[in-house]
Structure 1
Amino acid sequence: MTWNLPNILTIGRLLAAPFLAFAFVFLPRGLADWVAIVLFVGAALTDYIDGYLARKWKQESKFGAMLDPIADKAMVVIALMILVGAWDMYPYVVFPAALIMFREVFVSGLREFLGADAGKLQVTKLAKWKTTAQMVAISLLFAQGVFEHHFWANTVGMDDGIVSSVLSGNTEDEMGLWFLRTGALATHYAGLWVLWIAAALTLITGWDYFNKSRPYLVDEPDA
């Protein structure tokens, strides 16, 4: 194992993955949402930075190449698990999340079976777009939790009539409720749309990987 900055960033991203779950277990919801968005966005940025630095500084290694996709998948799978729970099994989150996790398990098993031949199957640009879409979708859905927490925290002590009056513009919005509600709605719908796009790309790239691996799955004819 080579201890260089790109590999250290990858290891940090891998270790950050379980802390997403720990945040929602041990911290109050508002703080947990902030921790989740910071950890996940930070992990998404290091996913780009460590690869860029490894290429620029010519520090690419087998250890980094092995660990990088593991760190990505660990972060995505744990984040999806948290979102499914936080959204109370909301079907529009559960279904794409299940498709994404199914593909990741299937492709990981296929790579394990192929062994050394798995390295011959190159990562496509579409697969990189898939990863980007997953990261963006999950970041947006975590951001929704942040907006919602602050919205409800700022409406403590207000009755529904006052909140409606503020949101309609009839009462001065001293607490920024309109901004928080708009942010929650925008991240909600954008996050769901991008999550479904990510699920579609996940299935397409999974099928492409399986199709390319088929020549290595053919049984040798009996002598």
Structure 2
Amino acid sequence: MLTLPNILTLSRIFAVPILVALLWPVGGWFDYALAFALYCLMGITDYFDGYLARAKGTVSRLGVFLDPIADKIMIAAVIVMLVFIKAIDSYHIVAALIILLREITVSGLREFLAQLQVSMPVSTLAKWKTTFQLVALGALILGGATPQWPWVHDVGIVSLWAAALLTLITGWDYLRVGIRHMDAS
């Protein structure tokens, strides 16, 4: 159970409260810089936990269960904090909500389909969605550390909307597959 990939996944879950504390409004640019570094480290561990599990043949049920949960906890916590500190504000909150609602919906759909023993592989478009999402949140965190470079924040907002658009497309694709299996059962 406590293989290196699972430890890396658990470390991401345990790092979320630290990330939230670093993004708390009383911090300054240095806290945002630390939050950005931690966010990047969490992203690296996300890559390596899966890579190591597959390379060493140590893919476990615990890892398969925890990895998407760790991802969603991190994404949700960062989005909530970025809205709280107003790095995401105004109508841009709509893009953040689209992402959050899709994550919840697809998680529920995957759970339902798992009971039917139907897997939903991640599409290439969904991988692009994740890339834009990670870039967006990272840029918005980094924007707090670099207020002298407003373009960093702008990159985050543009990437957030790109992620939201891809979220709608991939969410609809997943929902269609799910509905087809619901009708069949």
The normalised TM-score by structure 1 is 0.76
How far apart are the structure 1 equivalents of 2:158 and 2:23? 24
CA distance in 2 between counterparts of 1:10 and 1:50 reads 6
| Partner residue, 1:100 | 99
Q: Distance in 2 between matches of 1:185 and 1:22?
A: 23
Residue 217, structure 1, aligned to residue 171, structure 2: no
Say yes or no: does 1:10 pair with 2:4: no
CA contact (8 A) 2:19 2:38 kept: yes
SS in 2 for 1:218: helix
Amino acid across the alignment from 2:41: G
| Alpha-carbon distance in structure 2 between the residues aligned to 1:109 and 1:28 | 35
Larger Rg computed on CA atoms: 1
Partner of 1:48: 47
What SS does the aligned partner of 2:146 have? Answer: helix
Pairwise CA distance, 1:93: 3.0
| Matched residue SS, 1:120 | coil
Equivalent residues of 1:111, 1:118 under 8 A apart: no
Structure 2 residues not aligned, in runs of 5+:
none
Percent identity over the alignment is 40
TM-score (norm 2): 0.90
2:170 to 205, 214, 218: 205
Q: Which amino acid aligns with 2:16?
A: A
Deviation at 1:24, TM superposition (A): 3.5
Amino acid at match of 1:74: I
Separation (CA, whole Å) in 1 of partners of 2:102 and 2:172: 9
Give the 3-state SS of the residue equivalent to 1:123 in structure 2.
Answer: coil
Q: CA deviation at 1:212?
A: 0.9
Pair 1:141–1:118, CA change in 2 (3 A)? farther
Q: Secondary structure at the match of 1:122?
A: coil
* Count of paired positions: 185
Query: What value does the CA root-mean-square deviation take over the aligned residues?
Result: 2.0
Unaligned runs of 5+ in 1: 149-180
What's the offset of the Cα at 1:119? 4.5
Aligned-partner Cα distance in 2 for 1:46–1:91: 32
Preserved contact between residue 87 and residue 93 of structure 1 (Cα < 8 Å): no
